[in-house]
Amino acid sequence: MSAPTESQSVRVVDRAGAVALVAGILASLQALEAVMGRESDHVRRGRLREGLAETEHKTALSAAYLQGLEAAKANAIALSRFAPEGIESLKAAHRRFTVIVETNQMVLATARTVSESLVKTLAEEMNRARTPTIYGRPSHAPSPYGRGGGGYSQPLILSRSL
């Protein structure tokens, strides 16, 4: 069954149509689960570029899944009549998918926290290395330009090609 577009709506009128609708939704959900699993694995291993490489594909699969859910909502009565077991399998698959999404969100949040921590630590180390110490205490030389703080506002340069 082809994915419905905005100009085309799915109308279930028999058991074959109901089974095809459920199968299409489950197929897009399984493909989305696979993409999210690969993304999580790559990010866990620190391969952010590979992890984020399938963003467009993930977006397309998400859209197809949401369109399938809208079609299922629009045909809820027909699905319950022609394929009640399909509704139960959709509910079970959605519960599984919810766990996968939560895991993916935790992995991405952890990666973000780690990267922010690394940048913050790097900036602190760079500033600490630029601050001279006299008798174990931080000391700041007077600025020849009449500005106080001499050396606090040094630029931080990062390489985006890592």
Q: Over the stretch 4-43, which tens digit does the pLDDT of each residue have? A: 444 357 888 899 999 999 999 999 999 999 999 999 999 9
- What is the number of domains present in the chain? 1
Q: Report yes or no on 160 lying in a domain.
A: no
Q: Report yes or no on 19 lying in a domain.
A: yes
Q: What are 39-63's pLDDT values in tens digits?
A: 999 999 989 889 889 999 999 999 9
Spell out the residues 6+ positions from residue 58 whose beta carbon is closer than 8 angstroms to its own. 32, 35, 36, 39
User: What's the Rg (C-alpha) of the chain?
Assistant: 27
Domain that holds residue 23: 15-128
pLDDT at 161 over 80: no
Reading the block at residue 41, the tokens are: 């694995």
Q: Report yes or no on 58 lying in a domain.
A: yes
Q: What are 118-158's pLDDT values in tens digits?
A: 888 888 887 776 666 677 666 666 656 555 554 455 555 66
Q: Report yes or no on 2 lying in a domain.
A: no
Q: Report yes or no on 156 lying in a domain.
A: no
Token look-up 């998918």 returns 97
Q: Report yes or no on 45 lying in a domain.
A: yes
Q: Report yes or no on 138 lying in a domain.
A: no
Token look-up 């291993």 returns 45
Cα separation, 55 vs 53, in Å, equals: 6
Q: Report yes or no on 119 lying in a domain.
A: yes
Average pLDDT estimate for 73-87: 92
Cα separation, 119 vs 4, in Å, equals: 45
